[in-house]
Structure 1
Amino acid sequence: MKKSICSFAFLLLILPRAFSQNTVAPAAAGFDMPRAAIPHGNIDTISYNSSTVGNTRKALIYTPPGFSRQKKYPVLYLLHGIGGDEKEWLNGGTPQVILDNLYADKKIEPMIVVMPNGRAMKDDRATGNIMAPDKVQAFATFEKDLVKDLIPYIQKNYPVYTDRDHRAIAGLSMGGGQSLNFGLGNLDKFAWIGGFSSAPNTKTPEELVPDPAVARQQIKLLWISCGASDGLITFSKRTHDYLQKNNVPHIYYIEPGVHDFKVWKNGLYMFSQLIFKPVDTTSFSKYEVAGAPAATNVRNAGYPQILPDHRVIFRVKAPEARQVQVDLGRKYDMKKNSEGVWTVTTDSISEGFHYYSLIVDGLAIADPASETFYGMGRMASGIEIPLTGNNYYALRDVPHGDIRIRKYFSKITGSWRQLYIYTPPGYDANTSVKYPVLYILHGGGEDETGWATQGKTDLIMDNLIASKKAEPMLIVMPDANVGGAAFDEAVLKKFESELKEVIIPLVEKNFHADTTATKRALAGLSMGGIHTLYTGIKNTNMFSYLGVFSSGWIQPRQGSIAAAQYDYMMANAAAINNNLKALWIAMGGKEDIAYHNCQLMLKKLDELKAKYTYSEYPGGHTWPVWRNNLFNFAQQLFK
């Protein structure tokens, strides 16, 4: 399913690079190289008394070419990162060179730039353990030092404007987090705010901008930039997502790069050209956002890359190939350049996990740049499209459970097999607790790894349990492949025996499992949904909850499995309705390949007066849908 784009402003984010007179282009070659035949500003060291720290502190100050004490200047406070001090920008970013060149080209307003030490403590050097708690705390303490000590010193000793409209703050990494924290936390003092590759010290968006209406009114420019391959990009992205959702104008500029001065110097170059000038907020959305490597890429692989609108850029080097395609449900023809590199950009891809393959001269293979997963009956590449908004399967700072692997010999199949099992947080410590159990089944062409990897079961449950939306439970993920055609009755019956005679006794003997029917649930997707219907409906004395995802019996024919099932349900309607606390049926919308069969089944269930709950989540027959199904179904269980 293609992801819809909700606003025209966001659509502009993905247009090709085209900078109007109201936008600023990225730095060209030579922007940070000294020019001899132009006026130059000066860099000096200043000392000021800090009542916050209780000693004299140092900062660097840049005064522009032609500086005169007979006129007034706006001020930019430019902050360093966690491993630097007041000289980090000077040594790594040569801001005086960048600004001198911009003045010579008449691209920026004359301004004073103050580069302080953002580590507000008596021993403020970047020595020893820079991550020590007292040093990290000192970066937060600097807010008071900045507002109460440094700004008053600058206003007393330099010819500067003292109102918020003439004061800006920006910084890199830790200093980027400080800039967002201090700038947005003191809108009475700063009208221009910039965060370059902001670090984990950045407050949550809700803390930064608790009142979007006030922010819209007071902020003249809010700039957020980062390298697309920077591991800290999530902190910039979450802020951008929140601001966009709440219609707070800002520039979100993502460029190719990592966590280094190449990105930060370009941030200063662009940000400095926009401040202390009239601002056209309608131009903000025109700034390019580069693609970021997918989280499912193997280490150090730059492609595939995901664009903000969820289009994907694929690239593969195959100089001898005659034709290369990407098969992502739809096939995309790739184009080869003179170096033998094939590339293509897809349409917008829906959020979550998707299988894909490269087709090289007709042969489907896994992309060597991507992690592989067992799906489609073979190992295939997979790509994870980030989920915006409330990411319920994000890795969060909450107690985490474990996914364990249990090998066992099956008397039903006569072979060694294995299952995966999720144990909730605190499982090993709480040995006296008996946990309810959800048995959850994969789809056709998959195996026991599906729910554990593609399904993100552990993260979904960790977050639900931490927020008290779901009961702590065991989740058993067995291999439902027992040989033969998936929908043959003999196969369905064989897995029923495997589950009842081998898997459940194994789990209840070896894990802290509650053995009562009211504390046992069965669910599955697609083929696993058929197993759930076949085994679950026949054994409601064993399972009190059934979840059927993207599945359904076909139109019953005389003598078919479905017809036999419906006959059984009719004969045992009272017991089934009495035993089942929930029969939860979900589909991935009309584009789900099982949608038609499911609707026929629902009509039949209505005729039989069977109690069920039906839900739809758009996305088709895909893992994004099934993750959401688990997220919602788990909240219904064992209450």
Structure 2
Amino acid sequence: MSIVQVPFDKKFQNIDNTWQLPLENSKQRGHVRFYNYTSPGSTYPTKNVHVAGVYLPPGYNKAHQYPVLYFHHGRGGNHADWFNQGRLHNIVDRLIDSGEMPPVVIITPNLYNLGFAPEDFATNSTDYHYTTYDQIGIYAFDAAVRENYFKYLMPWVEKTFAVGTLPANRSFVGLSMGGGLATEMLYNATDYFDAYGIFSQVPFVPPVAALSVPAFKTKKLLLGAGLYDFALPSTLNAESLLAQAGVKNIMSHISICGGHSWCVWQELARIFLKDVKFAN
């Protein structure tokens, strides 16, 4: 499949999606590369080595400390999705160029081929379609991914790139199945990140233990889905549950552009960056 984006012309269009397009001046653009890092048990791209996407901002300087944002793919996706389909680097370049956010480092991990799979944690079903959702099994898988990232991915990121190491410097965003991982981070790595984006995630049932953590109520959150998204009811339920728990800094957004799709997640990513993580 090829993706073609046409520059906005008000004579023929009424919606300006220029914010998704590359900056005209290539010197103002960041750089996207894919890196290998040591991850015992991984089977891709080779034994005990795993892969992640990395965006470095224009003018990247190792003497500086940048915020680091983790953007996670969904079910069946990979570390390249946020760049290939989401065009996240274009969105970020334009927000940096307009002064709506500072330069950042972005990491796009891959939860597959770590040496274990969702099916390894299955309980009542090995079918991960949402009609027969194995909630216990997928939560156990998310916990295993979290532990793996904290053991191998995040130490490598902080050793390799010029990123801040305080919670205020870190954020985690995920879509669909990756939204489930974002909630796992919110529940069980609450103090590690400052802001969370949870997009089109099913289901959303915060454990009582997580709600009792004081820091849980201070985090900045964006919940979102498409108007025609099968995950929309879960997003609305999440907003209600978190509000009842006393979480203050919640923003929710329902995109009218589509369903469980990239046009929704692109829009949510832009809102997260300029109105949640880096809101004035």
What is the RMSD of the two structures over their aligned residues, measured on CA atoms? 2.0
Distance 1:568 1:553, change over 3 A: farther
Q: Which residue of 1 aligns with 2:216?
A: 576
Q: Which residue of 1 aligns with 2:11?
A: 243
Distance 1:585 1:412, change over 3 A: farther
Q: Which residue of 1 aligns with 2:183?
A: 533
**Given that residues 183 and 198 in structure 2 are in contact (C-alpha distance below 8 angstroms), is that contact kept between their aligned partners in structure 1?**
yes
Q: 1:615 Cα shift?
A: 0.9
Q: Which residue of 1 aligns with 2:30?
A: 401
Pick one of 546, 555, 560 that aligns with 2:196.
546
Q: Which residue of 2 aligns with 1:421?
A: 54
Could you list the per-position Cα deviations for residues 325-379 of structure 1 after superposition, in whole angstroms to 9, with x for gaps in the alignment?
xxxxxxxxxxxxxxxxxxxxxxxxxxxxxxxxxxxxxxxxxxxxxxxxxxxxxxx
Give 4+ residue runs of structure 1 displaced > 4 Å after superposition: none
Pick one of 384, 392, 398 that aligns with 2:19.
392
- Residues paired across the two proteins, number: 246
**Given that residues 518 and 638 in structure 1 are in contact (C-alpha distance below 8 angstroms), is that contact kept between their aligned partners in structure 2?**
no
Give secondary structure in 1 for the equivalent of 2:107. strand
Give secondary structure in 2 for the equivalent of 1:243. coil
Distance 1:623 1:506, change over 3 A: same
**Given that residues 436 and 638 in structure 1 are in contact (C-alpha distance below 8 angstroms), is that contact kept between their aligned partners in structure 2?**
no
Counterpart code for 1:243: K
Q: Which residue of 2 aligns with 1:437?
A: 68
Q: Quick one: distance in 2 between partners of 1:539 and 1:442?
A: 19
Q: Quick one: distance in 2 between partners of 1:425 and 1:548?
A: 27
Q: Which residue of 2 aligns with 1:623?
A: 262
Q: Quick one: distance in 2 between partners of 1:536 and 1:501?
A: 17
Could you list the per-position Cα deviations for residues 11-50 of structure 1 after superposition, in whole angstroms to 9, with x for gaps in the alignment?
xxxxxxxxxxxxxxxxxxxxxxxxxxxxxxxxxxxxxxxx
Q: Quick one: distance in 2 between partners of 1:402 and 1:448?
A: 15
Q: Quick one: distance in 2 between partners of 1:447 and 1:472?
A: 24
Q: Does 1:596 align with 2:233?
A: yes
Q: Does 1:567 align with 2:208?
A: yes
Q: Which residue of 2 aligns with 1:461?
A: 92
**Given that residues 471 and 637 in structure 1 are in contact (C-alpha distance below 8 angstroms), is that contact kept between their aligned partners in structure 2?**
no
Q: Quick one: distance in 2 between partners of 1:406 and 1:620?
A: 32
Could you list the per-position Cα deviations for residues 116-172 of structure 1 after superposition, in whole angstroms to 9, with x for gaps in the alignment?
xxxxxxxxxxxxxxxxxxxxxxxxxxxxxxxxxxxxxxxxxxxxxxxxxxxxxxxxx
For structure 2, the residue ranges without an aligned partner over 5 or more in a row are 1-5, 120-127, 129-136
Q: Quick one: distance in 1 between partners of 2:75 and 2:17?
A: 30
Q: How do 1:357-396 residues align onto structure 2 when only pairs under 5 Å count?
A: 388-396=15-23
Give secondary structure in 2 for the equivalent of 1:242. coil
**Given that residues 169 and 194 in structure 2 are in contact (C-alpha distance below 8 angstroms), is that contact kept between their aligned partners in structure 1?**
yes
**Given that residues 171 and 196 in structure 2 are in contact (C-alpha distance below 8 angstroms), is that contact kept between their aligned partners in structure 1?**
yes
Counterpart code for 1:597: S
**Given that residues 40 and 49 in structure 2 are in contact (C-alpha distance below 8 angstroms), is that contact kept between their aligned partners in structure 1?**
no
**Given that residues 62 and 161 in structure 2 are in contact (C-alpha distance below 8 angstroms), is that contact kept between their aligned partners in structure 1?**
no
Pick one of 88, 99, 105 that aligns with 1:474.
105
Counterpart code for 1:393: Q
Q: Quick one: distance in 1 between partners of 2:261 and 2:143?
A: 26
Counterpart code for 1:484: P
Q: Which residue of 1 aligns with 2:3?
A: none
**Given that residues 57 and 104 in structure 2 are in contact (C-alpha distance below 8 angstroms), is that contact kept between their aligned partners in structure 1?**
yes
Q: Quick one: distance in 1 between partners of 2:139 and 2:254?
A: 28
Counterpart code for 1:459: N
Q: How do 1:42-191 residues align onto structure 2 when only pairs under 5 Å count?
A: none
Could you list the per-position Cα deviations for residues 77-97 of structure 1 after superposition, in whole angstroms to 9, with x for gaps in the alignment?
xxxxxxxxxxxxxxxxxxxxx
**Structure number with bigger Rg:** 1
Q: 1:629 Cα shift?
A: 1.1
Q: 1:598 Cα shift?
A: 2.0
Give secondary structure in 2 for the equivalent of 1:392. helix
Counterpart code for 1:406: Y
Q: Quick one: distance in 1 between partners of 2:211 and 2:99?
A: 38
Q: Quick one: distance in 1 between partners of 2:96 and 2:140?
A: 38
Q: 1:537 Cα shift?
A: 2.6
Q: Which residue of 2 aligns with 1:354?
A: none
**Given that residues 64 and 162 in structure 2 are in contact (C-alpha distance below 8 angstroms), is that contact kept between their aligned partners in structure 1?**
yes
| Structure with greater proportional helix content | 2
Q: Quick one: distance in 2 between partners of 1:597 and 1:610?
A: 17
Q: Which residue of 2 aligns with 1:587?
A: 225
Counterpart code for 2:63: S
Q: Which residue of 1 aligns with 2:245?
A: 608
Q: Does 1:490 align with 2:119?
A: no
Give secondary structure in 1 for the equivalent of 2:23. coil
Q: 1:412 Cα shift?
A: 5.6
Q: Quick one: distance in 2 between partners of 1:597 and 1:445?
A: 20
Q: 1:419 Cα shift?
A: 0.2
Q: 1:245 Cα shift?
A: 6.4
Q: 1:553 Cα shift?
A: 2.5
Q: TM-score, normalised by structure 2?
A: 0.81
Counterpart code for 2:31: D
Q: Quick one: distance in 2 between partners of 1:567 and 1:456?
A: 37
Q: Percent identity?
A: 27
Q: TM-score, normalised by structure 1?
A: 0.37
Highest RCO, 1 vs 2 (Cα 8 Å, sep ≥ 6): 2
Give secondary structure in 2 for the equivalent of 1:419. strand
For structure 1, the residue ranges without an aligned partner over 5 or more in a row are 1-233, 247-387, 555-561
Counterpart code for 1:450: D
